[in-house]
Amino acid sequence: MPPERRPDLGKAFPNERRVAAVLALLYPMNDRVCCALIRRPSYPGVHGGQIAFPGGQVESEDSDLLHTALREAWEEVGIQAEKVQRPTELTRLYIPPSRYEVVPFLGLSDRRPDFILQTSEVDELIELPLEELMQPNVYGEVSVHTTRGLLNVPAYQWRDEIIWGATAMIVAEISDVLNDIHSA
């Protein structure tokens, strides 16, 4: 994780930031635990075409950050809030290029949701089997094209997908949480 994004380094997030919340939903599919990710549409902005968790910016009608994550997950991929069990806040991240503080929530569902994609915000649903991320050859450093040029970044390479940035950091935390639960 790049040092400027690690909250445990004692750095405060900048005052001039936007706040967003995302939902990492774990659910069963074909006897595996999967996590729903999305591919954002291609556009000239910082996050165009990237793989992300469903989520978005806080709006005035949101009662709290969990409400933001659940509202956005409903709007983008049709995840019903009442089907999300045990939502838990994970580590907040700051994304310097877009000036977003992202608050991820991990939730569970006892069945695969009936996904309905909002095509103006989502190009593709990616159902990621978490056990495949545990393979040693999946994590490494890759070169990605960014608005700042070509950068070498830590990332998960899964099938033909590159999961990097804040999304990769959240996936890594989920993997750590699941490993801790499994070893307990």
Ordered domains of the chain (ranges, CATH):
3-134 (3.90.79.10)
The larger pLDDT score, comparing residue 3 to residue 117, is at 117
**Rounded Cα gap, residues 127 and 117, in angstroms:** 13
Range with the poorest average pLDDT among 25-29, 46-50, 67-71, 96-100: 46-50
14 to 99, 156, 160: CA distances (angstroms): 8, 28, 35
Q: Which two tokens stand for residue 166?
A: 């804040």
Task: With cut-offs at 50, 70 and 90, classify the pLDDT of residue 30.
Answer: very high
- Rg of the chain on CA atoms, in Å: 16
pLDDT at 8: 45
pLDDT at 11: 52
81 exposure class (CB count in 10 Å sphere: 0-12, 13-18, 19+): middle
pLDDT at 105: 97
pLDDT at 75: 97
Average pLDDT value for residue range 11-36: 88
Q: Rounded mean pLDDT of the chain?
A: 86
Of the chain, the percentage scoring pLDDT greater than 90 comes to 54
**Rounded Cα gap, residues 111 and 80, in angstroms:** 12
Average pLDDT value for residue range 36-53: 78
Identify each DSSP E strand in the chain by its residue range: 18-29, 32-39, 51-52, 55-57, 85-89, 93-95, 100-108, 124-129, 139-146, 149-158, 161-164
Range with the poorest average pLDDT among 92-101, 146-155, 171-180: 146-155
87 close to 107: Cβ distance less than 8 angstroms: yes
**Rounded Cα gap, residues 154 and 143, in angstroms:** 9
Whether this prediction's pTM lies above 0.75 is answered by yes
Residue 47 has pLDDT above 80, yes or no: no
The larger pLDDT score, comparing residue 47 to residue 167, is at 167
Q: What is the pLDDT of residues 72-85, one digit of tens each?
A: 999 999 999 999 99
Task: With cut-offs at 50, 70 and 90, classify the pLDDT of residue 139.
Answer: confident
**Rounded Cα gap, residues 83 and 102, in angstroms:** 22
pLDDT at 6: 46
